[in-house]
Amino acid sequence: MKKLKAFTSLALAAVCAFSITACGGSIPANTVNSVADLDGKKIGVQLGTTGDTYASDYEGDKAGTTIERYNKGADAVQALKQGKIDCVIIDAEPAKVFAEKNSDVKILDEAFADEEYAMAIDKSNTELKEKINGALAELKADGTLDAIKANYAGTDEEIGKTPYESPADVDRTGGTLRMGTNAEFPPYEYYENEKIVGIDADMAQAVADKLGMELKIEDMNFDSIISAVTAGTVDAGVAGMTVTEDRLQNVDFTDSYATSKQVIIVRSK
């Protein structure tokens, strides 16, 4: 019996030595230092995002790259921290937030891809698209868009200094602008004091103010937004949404209101 116990202890110790997470084992060291290192790795993405689309190009390659999809970017980052995946591909601004809140992850200097954000509109709703484009043009010209971005994603001296406030005399007889989003994407949209705030929320509010409309924001899974737009459940999809050829097959897009890039988050050690 003592020999059996000794053998069992040795076997368990051996399993623990080779396990990533079991028995209190250590998290593996980072092995992704550039885009060139992605082959053969486990890549985490948020389901339905541009990062998901781009990462899919690696799926099924000869190197054995696999894609792990999560409903929330935060869940992907948590899996990275636990050693379940090797990296996360996600938009730059939320990546900065995750890196600031988690000292054990970092963003690679090399960008994965550049992109532009716009509002998704149903192809049949050209009138709304034209109205929104007109409002966006005015907001760009008068500096409102830049102030909104700086308030959430500017320098340390800018953040929180220029919150958007609707004019007191707005005539809201133009109806309701229903915005579909996924409030898991700081600083573009996230919850604060049980309210959805962020760059996209303020931008959409400013657009609604220009159009004399009430703004109603509906939170949903990111991969449900395009379907909600085409079904008429919402009027516009606004969630740091990149204009892509695949999405253009189903919806139209307004003019771009922001530029960003996809980046790679890895463990910092």
* The domain boundary residue, chosen from 99, 114, 129: 114
Q: Are 177 and 213 in contact (CB under 8 A)?
A: yes
Does this model's pTM top 0.85? My answer is no
pLDDT at residue 60 in the model: 81
**pLDDT over threshold 90, residue 2:** no
64 with 134, same domain? Answer: no
The dihedral region occupied by 24, where left means phi > 0, alpha psi between -120 and 50, and beta the remainder, is left
At 131 the pLDDT is 98
Q: Under a CB-based contact definition with an 8 Å cutoff, are residues 176 and 236 in contact?
A: no
In a domain, 3, yes or no: no
**Could you tell me the residue range of the domain that residue 110 belongs to?**
18-114
pLDDT at 22: 42
Domain boundary among 89, 114, 139: 114
Per-residue confidence band for 25, with pLDDT thresholds at 50, 70 and 90: low
Do 149 and 43 sit in the same domain of this protein?
Answer: no
Query: What's the total number of domains in the chain?
Result: 2
Residue 27: CATH number of its domain: 3.40.190.10
Residues 190 and 236 grouped into a single domain: yes
Mark which of 84, 114, 144 sits at the end of a domain: 114
**Whether residues 75 and 137 fall in one domain:** no
The pLDDT of residue 62 is 74
Assess if residue 267 is contained within a domain. Answer: no
